[in-house]
Structure 1
């Protein structure tokens, strides 16, 4: 039987606008999953982070959620002691779609270590893993994620190429085939790329979610201060139109992006 359990930690914590991390544990061993959950909770709390943790008892249980696109994980822990071939194939499929998800593999031997590191694993632990080893693996993942939150994107503007921090992007508005990028410090850039190509480049960033409240508008969910019936307000004070018939859908997407509810 495929089983799935959801745990929440540190729900009142906030850090730099990043409301919550989403971690997935794929393991048939409750002892192994419990150890990982314990230190995930403790170590995210010490960093001021909120955490939602989903445990699956095998890779096929995880695969159902992943194929439906229900979850977008920041961290994944793969226990290879049960159904290892299926777990490795699923991990490879996940890596192809999610390039910045941090992964840790746990196994009874090192026969799949090379394959795991080729998938960009942060760590490969031999079972039974010690508390110190689990802590080290989680610390590597959290440090890597904190680096990704400061990630920049290279954009072509009317004045040349410009490196922009993802965290500073408030909104992109397309008007008369011109894309204007608004930054949190009040700066405005005129982009040469199309809105669709920019949307594709921003897609899949784990710590930042870019949503559309209406045609020709893209906003950073982390920079939305308030949502009204027909407008939304950004942290910088700029108000943008919100299509009334889509207001409810946008609000749910926004809440999910921030809180992973």
Structure 2
């Protein structure tokens, strides 16, 4: 089952989004989609706090009382890792939205085609069963690395330290450029200077001071690399 919540304080917009979501569920009957709706962000936050979160949240940005981006930040602070699609009338909060790990950012009025494309992207993430691996020679022997679990790598005295989401660290004696070459077919990976290779799927916070990952890890970045990484992250996050 895929649980999806909508939060919008404009009743007309809430009903339109719900209707579009029902149409999507009808056309994709292979998925068991359950829909919840909230007319206020505080109502959503209270529900998640008491009952747990959702797989996907369709969240309006401009709402009375609290911005949708601020509500999303509170959810992240609670440890919620749901996929988020922001729905808004302005692009002004796009950077903030993607720094919170948003999957997509739809500007109203959006078409059914645009809405469905954004949902396809999320559902593909939620239902993806294909596994991607690289087999490399580590200091412990031969290691098969699940790329879906690779959060980032760090260069340390000519050794690449691969940090995985399950807490494991794999040490590989090769140059970072050589390691990155083996990841070239994976657009989620970005080589940030000579020290780090990061998996953008795990980014939950991005600023000129550094990057925070959903695994809890944080790394610094060079200030001159910030704008390049921000653009690459937004291009990657906005892709359809």
Superposition TM-score, scaled by structure 1 size: 0.47
The residue that corresponds to 1:94 in the other structure is: 75
The residue that corresponds to 2:84 in the other structure is: 103
Instruction: Select the residue among 75, 100, 103 that pairs with 1:119.
Output: 100
Structure 2 residue 10 is matched with structure 1 residue 34: no
SS of 1:25's partner is strand
CA contact (8 A) 2:41 2:66 kept: no
Give the superposition deviation at 1:163. 6.5
Provide closer, same or farther for how the CA distance between residues 113 and 161 of structure 1 changes in structure 2, counting only shifts above 3 A: same
**Residue correspondences, number:** 145
Superposition TM-score, scaled by structure 2 size: 0.50
Listed one character per residue, the Cα deviations across residues 75-131 of structure 1 (whole Å, up to 9, x for unaligned) are 1011112137442222023234133x2111111211111101111222212223322
The residue that corresponds to 2:219 in the other structure is: none
The residue that corresponds to 1:135 in the other structure is: 116
Provide closer, same or farther for how the CA distance between residues 163 and 121 of structure 1 changes in structure 2, counting only shifts above 3 A: same
1:60 and 1:85 mapped to 2: Cα distance?
A: 8
SS of 2:109's partner is coil
Aligned pairs for 1:181-196 (under 5 A) are none
Where does the alignment leave 5 or more consecutive residues of structure 2 unmatched?
134-140, 149-165, 169-240
Where does the alignment leave 5 or more consecutive residues of structure 1 unmatched?
1-19, 154-158, 167-197, 202-261
Provide closer, same or farther for how the CA distance between residues 81 and 93 of structure 1 changes in structure 2, counting only shifts above 3 A: closer
The residue that corresponds to 1:56 in the other structure is: 38
Give the superposition deviation at 1:31. 2.6
SS of 1:110's partner is coil
2:75 and 2:132 mapped to 1: Cα distance?
A: 23
